[in-house]
Amino acid sequence: MPLNIKAGSFHCELSPRALEMWNPDIRAALEAGTETITMYGVIGEDWWGEGVTVKRVDAALRAIGDKPVTVYINSPGGDMFEGIAIYNRLLEHSQEVTIKVLGLAASAASVIAMAGAKREIAKTAFLMIHNCWTYFAGNRHAIRELADTMEEFDRAMIGLYADTSGQDEKAVEKMLDAETYMNGANALEKGFATGLISAAEVKEAPDDQQAQAHAARRMDAALAKSGMTRSERRKLISEIKSGMPSAAGDDTLRAVVPGMPRASLDASAFEETAHQASALRNLLPAL
């Protein structure tokens, strides 16, 4: 079946490694004030919640008004198109924008992090930059067309990171190809950050709802790596969460997890802890 690839017609997926590294419990130690925006989750919408969207950021900036704003980030990334839209919206803000990376700013979240005049990061936090990531199925013509589209997207990212950091574009391109993680000191040295924040500004506060969503996302990443399409994953996870998987869904998951008994699938089996999803992923080939 012919496929016409256009910007926005494919889905940017979370990097499995970024999802593995991300600790969703990391927060700012101080309570968020009236002139702050928190980005503690996936960029863009998914079927576990709205996530961080340009709509939400725009509403927050309008409420803040003509004042400086601080943006706290702890995110494994998500939708690059949404990330770019948020980046541009922050650039439009009339007053100074300060970015504070508390845990992880990966992929689309690292794009957002470049919008700050001040870009601060904890010593133990990480920025991650990489080429656009997706799962795709199609014939060779569609795959070539998709690769060309993604290459143009990556070129835009190279320019953005280079302009912000002062790094040479060739050097940035190599960093994207390698899926580069930079700790606080490294990000500062390379110009991606302008300063470090103290450990006193960061805390770890467990959130049961976030933990459940995180476990489900990790399971989703494992299923995606096994070759399951986005629509199939969505259907199967919905069935698991409802506690009523279909026979086809049961068989599909048993194919990914050999030995799983029939009729044993329920929401708690995969949402109880992130360790459940991690165990599932470990049954797949190594990253």
Judge whether 86 and 54 are in contact, CB under 8 Å: yes
Query: Is 8 a residue whose pLDDT tops 90?
Result: no
What is the three-class DSSP state of 169?
helix
**Gap between the Cα atoms of 123 and 185, Å rounded:** 6
Query: For residue 4, is pLDDT > 90?
Result: no
Query: DSSP letters of 42-89?
Result: -BS-BTTB--B-HHHHHHHHHHH-SS-EEEEEEE--B-HHHHHHHHHH
pLDDT in tens, 249-266: 445 444 444 444 333 334
Determine the distance from the C-alpha atom of residue 160 to the mean position of all C-alpha atoms in its chain, rounded to a whole number.
Answer: 18
* Tens digit of each residue's pLDDT (9 = 90 or more) over 115-167: 999 999 999 999 999 998 876 777 889 889 988 988 998 999 999 999 999 99
C-alpha 89/C-alpha 22 separation (Å) is: 25
**What is the pLDDT, as a whole number, of residue 46?**
65
Q: From CA 276, how far away is CA 183, in angstroms rounded?
A: 28
pLDDT of the residue at 97: 97
In this prediction, residue 10 carries a pLDDT of 57
Contacts with 78 (C-beta within 8 Å, 6 or more apart), sequence order: 12, 14, 42, 43, 44, 46, 51, 52, 107, 108, 109
Residue 243 Ramachandran class (φ > 0 left, ψ -120 to 50 alpha, else beta): left
At 127 the three-state DSSP class reads: strand
How large is the average pLDDT for residues 88-103? Answer: 97
Domain ranges of the chain: 16-204, 208-278
CATH 3.50.50.60 fits 16-204, yes or no: no
Q: Are 7 and 210 in contact (CB under 8 A)?
A: no
20 pLDDT higher than 60: yes
Note the pTM of the prediction, 2 decimals: 0.72
Question: Cβ distance 102 to 125 under 8 Å?
Answer: yes
